[in-house]
A and B are shown apart, each in its own frame.
Chain A
């Protein structure tokens, strides 16, 4: 792999790191397997792209608007689950497929190219470094900032309520936590992150596409699982860091697999490689961390 490819991998790794933080919040903290992200990722892209191209919005505000749109999507999923008792997975699927149509409406078509509009990355062009170097740095900073905000949030009164709501709902209720509301806001917030990730992804690749959400859920989940199995962490601060490491490593693994000629993979095999990676990581998790497995192997 060339430096260019590695930096490109970091770029997407960081963007999916944001998705992974959302997946961590829903899957790990709230114990709410949320499939909405398949729709909220392209939703964020569609909203940001349309606002920037059609309405001439500032890219930063458009990206935040994408986060807001994502929040609404996640909130709807949790609402179907909390208020109407629809199974959480099914609620997420319902939102994801309806968002597919909604995204087509928003963009008035299957995609929206971002030609000749300023993106959030334009602001860094003057720094004298080429985009393929400055963009990963910028995204790295963004994802770290989001991680720190999430860490801080999870240590607040609201944050520990949310953690208790996921880990022990009966106890949380007995201690005055409105578990339903925690799910509404938590899943909403996770999808806001996904929406922002979608918006950034569209700006990096120069277009929003209705199909860009396919497999996002598994990427987010894979990042969390890979991260957790490589570095099982006791504290939130380390766990969220593990998610980011997982996201980058996961992208690297996929890039290496697709780049290695001797394996004979094509670009279109990416979803298969992803699924195999996740399955392997899950199996590895059951038999301890990757380090433990290597240690065990070494002893033999």
Chain B
């Protein structure tokens, strides 16, 4: 479903702040797979997600989604196939619009928008039905501005919005990181449920190793702009957080060894 080949991304090229965010990333996510990505700060995991979404400019390499080369596509065009949930709950929903209008907006992602009224009785029913699943009573607050909701509620709403229409790929950028533990669990469970139900291809970036191992069916680890570890199936099932930590330390250690060689 998603194919990244030889992706190189450099920020601030040609300036003293030049940083290589990704250096030669090859990643292929088959249809229906739920992939989790971990890595330390600056490892390139969020950049990788942004490359798929179209936010980060690819210097070398190609991005394919559903067989189509989308490397040159702008964000809004890719969103026909990809939907996203952001880390910041404020980002995923539009606070000046009502809950219902937000749904209508998400609905327009895959269907043509027109000069017809965005919010009709059908939309109202559909949104209420979806929101009922949350058990937060939001189905009775369809006319409220989203800005009135809490962070967790907003994140739950953006998840539901991301799942409207016939979206193919769900991109999750540390979408539980800004929530309290209980709400984070709730949102994560909801995520699993939605991905399962709609048989979506999903990519989730996370900071939590436990979350990465216990969600989805495949985990990759980024380090210094490269994929250093890729596990799925039985190999991954056996893994514990401590194994990942060990792996993580080894990568860091190697880096130290490299440096000492340089210095020595």
Contacts and interface: CB of A to CB of B under 8 A. Distances in A.
Is A bound to B? yes
Interface of A: 152-153, 155-161, 163-164, 167-168, 170-179, 234
Contacts of B76: 172-173, 176-179
A153 to B, nearest CB: 8
A165 to B, nearest CB: 9
B97 A156 contact: no
A156 B115 contact: yes
Contact of B113 (A152, A157, A170): A157
B167 to A, nearest CB: 10
Contacts of A172: 76, 94, 105
13 contacts: A152-B117, A155-B118, A156-B113, A157-B115, A157-B118, A159-B118, A163-B101, A164-B105, A167-B96, A168-B96, A171-B92, A172-B76, A176-B110
B105 A161 contact: yes
A117 to B, nearest CB: 35
Given A174-B79, A174-B83, A176-B80, A161 B96 contact: no
A262 B137 CA distance: 60
Contact of B115 (A158, A163, A175): A158
B137 to A, nearest CB: 20
Nearest to A161: B113
Interface residues of B, number: 34
The SS class assigned to the A binding surface is: helix
A176 B79 contact: yes
Interface of B: 53, 74-77, 79-80, 83-84, 86, 91-97, 101, 104-106, 108-110, 112-119, 145, 161
A131 B221 CA distance: 77
A175 B105 contact: yes
Contacts of A176: 76-77, 79-80, 108-110
Contacts of A160: 97, 101, 104-105, 108, 118
A270 to B, nearest CB: 34
A161 B108 CA distance: 9
Contacts of B101: 160, 163
Contacts of A234: 145
A159 B75 CA distance: 20
Contact of B119 (A155, A167, A170, A174): A155
Given A156-B114, A174-B92, A176-B108, 19 more contacts: A153-B115, A156-B116, A156-B117, A157-B115, A157-B116, A161-B108, A163-B101, A164-B105, A167-B94, A167-B96, A168-B95, A171-B94, A173-B74, A174-B53, A174-B79, A176-B110, A177-B108, A179-B76, A234-B145
Given A157-B118, A159-B118, A174 B75 contact: yes
A175 B79 contact: yes
Nearest to A174: B84
Q: Which 7 A-B pairs have the closest CB atoms?
A: A157-B113, A176-B109, A176-B79, A167-B96, A173-B75, A168-B94, A164-B94
Contacts of A179: 76
Contacts of B119: 155
A238 to B, nearest CB: 13
B104 A163 contact: no
B97 A163 contact: yes
A172 B145 CA distance: 16
A148 B137 CA distance: 33
A175 B109 contact: yes
Nearest to A29: B96
Contacts of A156: 113-118
A157 B145 CA distance: 17
A174 B161 CA distance: 11
Residue from A153, A164, A173, A176 whose CB has the most chain B CB atoms within 10 Å: A176
A162 to B, nearest CB: 10
